[in-house]
Structure 1
Amino acid sequence: MIPYWLLSCLLYLSISSPKLSEAKQKATVLITGGGGYIGSHTIAEMLDDKYSVVVIDNLSNCYAFNDTEKPESLKRVEMLTKKKVIFHNTDIRDSSGLNKLFKSYKFAAVIHFAALKSVSESVRKPVEYYENNVAGTNSLIQAMKNNNVKKLIYSSSATVYGSPQYLPLTEKHPTGQNITNPYGKSKYFTEEILKDLSYSDNEWKIILLRYFNPVGAHPSGLIGEDPTDIPNNLMPYLSQVAIGRRNHLDVFGSDYPTPDGTGIRDFIHITDLAIGHLRALEKLTNPAFKGCRAYNLGTGKGYSVLELVKAFERVSGRRINYKLTERRKGDLAIVYADPKLAEKELNWIAKRYIDQMCEDTWRWQRQNPNGYQSDQDEP
């Protein structure tokens, strides 16, 4: 019996994929943490745009049948794009492995996704977050320096802004003040390291992309967000409640100073976010670009938790059971972006909004009720 997701892939390729042009193949880019949610979607867009990619991932936050196999997310990216993804099971803290990798390929740039990413987990495990996110990045940039690869796109976060002093958040907002969790601090510390690096050596070209709550999935439903444990983010938890994997959604905080009492966030569709990396890569490889520059990737509009729940109910036709609970340590009331700088300098703008975010998430969840393990684990 052909798996449902494979039939979907064949259908998507037959009716949705544009014909490949005869344009020349673009540069080779190293992607760290490429087996994860944001990495896999970005790779799909990059391959369609004729970049070559080499991916490293330690499989800590993505599914693979075993340690010697490519992550399932990347196998599906290959099916979607009809392009090969070169994969190495390598940790960014493995200096020897990184140096061997840089000597084996000619990289034009690096896109650095690899990081631990849960706000709540970081409060419980701060040392692990600093060791992986900060020390790991140091290991990566040392390998880049050793091999004269000095173009980097860094996967950062809106958490570097801390508690907002004004809204919407612009790139001029102070960073590093009143950050409420170690995850956000690890991103801020790393940004400061990268800024200092660019000041010390003007050959470095670095773009910091500050994300605002990525959600959604590829429109084919073949790749999406697949947490390896209990979801830490709202949308995958919500969709697992809708599909019946979880009994209810805990809504952390119902007494915030917002219209319905729940927190407000700027949710951005994963495809828009992925395309943002392409625009950043074009900027980075422009000879006129110099130094280190930060850009917000968001929609500029905030939605509350309950607004997202209602939108998901509307799209899925399912009732979402939820319980209002106490605030979660480290969470903020309202956070949303001013993305005008990215529009001006990267020629990028978010085009997909809340209903499409929910529709694409629900398509992914329906076709993959148990995530990437749905078919691999069948006898």
Structure 2
Amino acid sequence: MAILVTGGLGYIGSHTVVELLNNNFDVVIVDDLSNSEKFILQNIEEVTGKKPVFYPFDLKRKELLSQVFDAHKIDGCINFAAYKAVGESQEKPIDYYENNLFTLINILQEFKEREISNFIFSSSCTVYGQADTMPIDENTPLKIPESVYGKTKQMGEEILIDFAKAYQRKITLLRYFNPIGAHPSAKLGELPIGIPNNLVPYVTQTAAGIREKLSIWGNDYPTVDGTAVRDYIYVVDLAKAHVAALKRLMENKSEETTVDIYNLGTGNGSSVLEVVKAFEKANNVEVPYQICDRREGDITIAYANADKAEKELNWKSETTLEDALRTTWEWQKYLKSREL
């Protein structure tokens, strides 16, 4: 079975491609390399012993996307193709709306015309906005997200729900919390272009001396230590959830419309300062930091109730925060070795 993985050389995409290949799926990657590097394709092959098909182009180019569908019998899609930085989305809203929504619509046009089902959408806990109660489960009311990035994810979900209903298709929306860590081989990990927007790569780059200090955005939140709280999930655990969701979709032989929604997280919240201290303990390094003003678009606290995924997908997060942070430091050292 051939699975189209858009954004498949990106952070979560590359780890999911590895898990798909390990589960004997054929993988076709489309990635414009705007937030990834070509060497990741070689590393995927080194890790798995298999080489996925790769097309380097922007999904907004509809004619090239159609050629991919002409060349391969696509049985399903996992869509990771999106800009993803919360802060940047506030500065470049039109870029985010164009990229994150137009690419999704182009893929769905191919699915509609070719009568393909089995679509998994890389969504986010940002669709909940600042939830009133914790933990957040799938029945938690959605709010208008604080960030443009979150709005594109919420709009993407709405587009997919309408698509499923109109054309009797099977869709899964995976709302995950904060992915961290790297592959145990240290050959795959988060690879931010320029200054990192996410916490953990900023922590690792600061520990490595690439950044002078870690900027912590706000210490006046109503949390245990004043810093924002998130649910940090190990990226390999997250990748395995995508495979579990895909298998469930494909085992469902019903022709009826289905839209399944799953939260993917650990069920535990950790503050920014707790993550910094856990990283220092796991890797025996120091991370200098400075407190800055709150960042526009950030929420105070979010952590998951992932019981539904455990019950229906037979999946749960298994990796501790410290173990995940240990892998991200090994990845940072691998990147350093590539420069020598």
Q: How many residues align?
A: 338
- CA positional deviation for 1:287: 2.3
AA partner of residue 16 (structure 2): T
Measure the CA separation in 2 of the matches of 1:150 and 1:98: 17
Of the three residues 97, 100, 111, the one matched with 2:67 is 100
Measure the CA separation in 2 of the matches of 1:159 and 1:369: 32
Question: Are the equivalent residues in 1 in contact too, given 2:112–2:167 (CA < 8 A)?
Answer: no
AA partner of residue 52 (structure 1): D
Match of residue 20 from structure 1: none
Measure the CA separation in 1 of the matches of 2:129 and 2:239: 24
Match of residue 23 from structure 1: none
Match of residue 208 from structure 1: 173
- CA positional deviation for 1:242: 0.7
Mapped pair 1:364 → 2:335: no
- Written as runs of structure 1 = structure 2, the 5 A alignment for 1:166-245 is 166-175=133-142, 177-202=143-168, 204-245=169-210
Mapped pair 1:313 → 2:294: no
- Written as runs of structure 1 = structure 2, the 5 A alignment for 1:119-134 is 119-134=86-101
- Written as runs of structure 1 = structure 2, the 5 A alignment for 1:21-170 is 27-63=1-37, 71-170=38-137
Match of 1:369, SS state, is: helix
Mapped pair 1:328 → 2:302: no
Question: Are the equivalent residues in 2 in contact too, given 1:161–1:173 (CA < 8 A)?
Answer: yes
Measure the CA separation in 2 of the matches of 1:282 and 1:325: 44
AA partner of residue 176 (structure 2): Y
Match of residue 235 from structure 2: 270
Question: Are the equivalent residues in 1 in contact too, given 2:186–2:331 (CA < 8 A)?
Answer: yes
State the TM-score, normalizing by the size of structure 2: 0.97
4+ residue stretches of structure 1 with deviation over 4 A?
none
AA partner of residue 183 (structure 1): Y
Measure the CA separation in 1 of the matches of 2:46 and 2:161: 38
Question: Are the equivalent residues in 2 in contact too, given 1:41–1:271 (CA < 8 A)?
Answer: yes
Match of 1:39, SS state, is: helix
Indicate the RMSD between aligned Cα atoms, in angstroms: 1.1
AA partner of residue 332 (structure 1): I
Measure the CA separation in 2 of the matches of 1:178 and 1:199: 23
AA partner of residue 9 (structure 2): G
State the TM-score, normalizing by the size of structure 1: 0.87
Match of 1:196, SS state, is: helix
- CA positional deviation for 1:288: 4.8
Measure the CA separation in 1 of the matches of 2:7 and 2:144: 28
AA partner of residue 240 (structure 1): Q
Question: Are the equivalent residues in 1 in contact too, given 2:189–2:328 (CA < 8 A)?
Answer: yes
Report Cα offsets for 1:253-294 as digits up to 9, x if no partner. 100001100000000000000000010001110125641111
- CA positional deviation for 1:178: 3.4
Question: Are the equivalent residues in 1 in contact too, given 2:7–2:29 (CA < 8 A)?
Answer: yes
Match of residue 16 from structure 1: none
AA partner of residue 34 (structure 2): S
Question: Are the equivalent residues in 2 in contact too, given 1:162–1:178 (CA < 8 A)?
Answer: yes
AA partner of residue 122 (structure 1): S
Measure the CA separation in 1 of the matches of 2:21 and 2:313: 20
Report Cα offsets for 1:97-150 as digits up to 9, x if no partner. 111110110111011000000000000011111111112111110012122222
Question: Are the equivalent residues in 2 in contact too, given 1:103–1:147 (CA < 8 A)?
Answer: no
Match of 2:74, SS state, is: coil
- CA positional deviation for 1:189: 0.5
Unaligned runs of 5+ in 1: 1-26, 64-70
Question: Are the equivalent residues in 2 in contact too, given 1:99–1:147 (CA < 8 A)?
Answer: no
Measure the CA separation in 2 of the matches of 1:287 and 1:260: 46
Measure the CA separation in 2 of the matches of 1:87 and 1:125: 28
Question: Are the equivalent residues in 2 in contact too, given 1:225–1:236 (CA < 8 A)?
Answer: yes
Match of 1:256, SS state, is: coil
Question: Are the equivalent residues in 2 in contact too, given 1:300–1:338 (CA < 8 A)?
Answer: yes
Measure the CA separation in 2 of the matches of 1:285 and 1:178: 32
- CA positional deviation for 1:73: 0.9
AA partner of residue 111 (structure 1): I
Match of 1:170, SS state, is: coil
Match of 1:108, SS state, is: strand
- Identity, in percent, stands at 44
- CA positional deviation for 1:369: 2.2
Question: Which sits farther off after the overlay, 294-303 or 177-186?
Answer: 177-186
Report Cα offsets for 1:31-85 as digits up to 9, x if no partner. 001010001011111111111101000110012xxxxxxx211210101111011
Measure the CA separation in 1 of the matches of 2:336 and 2:32: 24
Match of 2:119, SS state, is: strand
Measure the CA separation in 2 of the matches of 1:313 and 1:303: 15
Match of residue 212 from structure 2: 247
Question: Are the equivalent residues in 2 in contact too, given 1:102–1:144 (CA < 8 A)?
Answer: no
